Amino acid sequence: MEEDSKKFTSFVTHDGQYEFNKVPFDLCNSPSICQRFINHVFRDLLKESIVIIYMDDIIIASIDELHGLKSLSRVLQTASEYGLELNLKKCNFLKSKIEFLGYIIENGKISPSLDKTVAVQNFPEPKSVKQVQSFLGLTGYFRKFIKNYALVAKPLSDLLRDNTEFYFGPEQKSAFQTLKQKLSENPLLHIFKQGAKLELHTDASKFGYGAILFQQSDDNKFHPIHYMSKKTSPPRREIFKLRT
């Protein structure tokens, strides 16, 4: 830490008053400082798309074992130059299947992790707006896996509008169960591949619009790599009515 910043981390114990010399975990700025530092350390590898980084979690992407070992060597060399230490107990090497940030990544495909889908399955029926927010936050993290997510979730997200009375009726229950079901069916997306052909399919109605991004795979078939959707606002619905 900078000398003029240490005083802000001061704390008192029975032995006296102390200050941190290094950034502690519980400062509000600690996560952003850590992320910025790690991004700076591995900036060249990030530019070359050799690593994917979130805080202190690093993935080394490779097409085969030899490429993976070469990339690993560069990552270790870079970490060594900055005095970073790795916890070997938390490291996995040359894996074809990994779990990262709530996702399972395997053989060019990505899907929600089991613990996340179980959390969705076990989520109780909301009894308040706050619980609806929690459910939408949980399922919304995986919205790219669900076709027309925004339209399916509309009866629930409408409950979050200002001056809206909380009512969890048949329409809301149906949306709640549908989202749980769709995420319980192990949805799968292919990972974007540089240079492969793409197709964008779109659709729209007065209630919302959506799109699916497809990409051609090695089997010459087009597979979804991302679902996108958004519900329309009341003013836009009126415009849609006038135009149709």
pLDDT tens, residue by residue, 229-239? 998 887 777 77
For range 51-66, the mean pLDDT: 91
Residue boundaries of the structural domains of the chain? 3-93, 95-243
Q: Residue 106 forms beta bridges with which residues?
A: 97, 109
Tell me the helices (H) and strands (E) count for the chain, helix number first.
10, 11
Least confident of 108-117, 127-136, 146-155, 233-242: 233-242
Least confident of 101-105, 145-149, 237-241: 237-241
The rounded percent of the chain whose pLDDT value lies above 90 is 70
Give the C-alpha separation, 56 to 92, whole Å.
14
Asked if the 95-243 domain carries CATH number 3.30.70.270, the reply is: yes
Handedness of CA 112, 116, 118, 124 (dihedral sign): negative
Nearest 5°: phi and psi at 150?
-60, -35
Among candidate residues 81, 100, 6, the one with its CA nearest the CA of residue 40: 81
pLDDT tens-place string over residues 176-221: 999 999 999 989 999 999 899 999 999 988 888 999 999 999 999 9
Note the pTM of the prediction, 2 decimals.
Answer: 0.79
The continuous run of DSSP H or E covering 177 comes out as: helix 170-184
